[in-house]
Amino acid sequence: EVQLVESGGGLVKPGGSLRLSCAASGFTFSSYSMNWVRQAPGKGLEWVSSISSSSSYIYYADSVKGRFTISRDNAKNSLYLQMNSLRAEDTAVYYCASLLEAAMAFWGQGTLVTVSS
């Protein structure tokens, strides 16, 4: 069974940093591109970042470019999102999702990030 489990969310002050993790199991993690997608409270889904299976290709939404860094450790079956210079508008549930045929095939349960003073 495919499982994606996010962790690392919490309350952080504006300008602060946070590192999210996503632990994968039940599939060959190293063969799949991965994404981070977020959802602000009561709002829709927003794609944040994508990383290819070997980390050769990395992409970011304009809203996070220069502040967030996606990475992965295939030996640990883990995906990460380093978030710096956080803003109130970054408050959201952050989901990791595996990519298959340009669609987000499997999703974790999400981790809540709250940016507030």
Q: How far is the CB of 82 from another protein (least distance, A)?
A: 20
Q: What is the nearest approach in angstroms of another protein to the Cβ of residue 22?
A: 12
Do 38 and 48 meet the contact criterion of CB atoms below 8 Å apart? yes
Q: Which is nearer to another protein, 16 or 62 (CB)?
A: 62
As given in the structure block, the two tokens for residue 39 are: 């959802």
Closer of 23 and 104 to another protein (Cβ): 104
DSSP secondary structure letters along 46-111: EEEEEE-TTS--EEE-TTTTTTEEEEEEGGGTEEEEEE-S--GGG-EEEEEEEEETTEEEEE---E
Query: For another protein, which is the closer residue by CB, 50 or 115?
Result: 50
Name the residue nearer to another protein (CB basis): 13 or 87: 87
Q: Residues interacting with another protein, by CB under 8 A?
A: 35, 37, 44-47, 50, 57, 59, 61-62, 95, 100-110
- Which of these, 77, 61, 80, lies nearest to 69 by C-alpha position? 80
Q: Least CB distance from residue 109 to another protein, whole Å?
A: 6
